[in-house]
Structure 1
């Protein structure tokens, strides 16, 4: 259910450029999106897992606020992230 180190490193390289660039907004949004998709798959098979659902909603809120920040500061990076992660907005 958690993101493995290899997957996380690949996401960081793809969106951050280097392995050390973990704090960039695009990297954080991509990592949240991966965890959200994993939790969504988990909840399809375990619909009564309320604790995981609560964690999913918290992640969605964090990703939403980061997307709003990115949209406010740099609209081109925002559009690129939406296109790369195939998010609807």
Structure 2
């Protein structure tokens, strides 16, 4: 009985975290989109990846031996780098505006 209550609380907490992540993602899309129905422009993708990278970096500061998550972090950083390179080649002004808004060093 006690284990079921603990698992139930863990699930509720997990559900709240997932809901917060979805709301945060929607807020980022709203902030970085280039037009009304934009959800996949490079700016939006880079902003979402940056948020996920920052979150995972904090996780890895606490859990230093979580190598599986570290690999995922490296893949996300590589994907963000490729998207930024694409944006830089397509429109350097949008690129510069984005990195200044996100506070990235490039």
Segments ≥4 residues shifted beyond 3 Å = 17-20
Which structure has the higher relative contact order (CA within 8 Å, separation 6+)? 1
State the Cα deviation string for residues 23-69 of structure 1 (Å, max 9, x = none): 11100000000000000000000000000000000000000000000
Q: RMSD between aligned alpha carbons?
A: 1.7
Q: What TM-score, normalized by structure 2, do the two folds share?
A: 0.79
Structure 1 residues 33 and 62, CA gap change in structure 2 (3 angstroms): same
Tell me which residue corresponds to 1:73.
90
Tell me which residue corresponds to 2:40.
23
For structure 2, which runs of at least 5 residues remain unmatched after alignment?
1-16
For structure 1, which runs of at least 5 residues remain unmatched after alignment?
none
Tell me which residue corresponds to 1:48.
65
Quick check: which one's helix share is greater?
Answer: 2
Given that 1:8 and 1:31 are in contact with CA atoms closer than 8 Å, whether structure 2 keeps it comes out as yes
Aligned residue pairs total 89
In terms of Rg, which structure is larger?
A: 2
Q: What TM-score, normalized by structure 1, do the two folds share?
A: 0.93
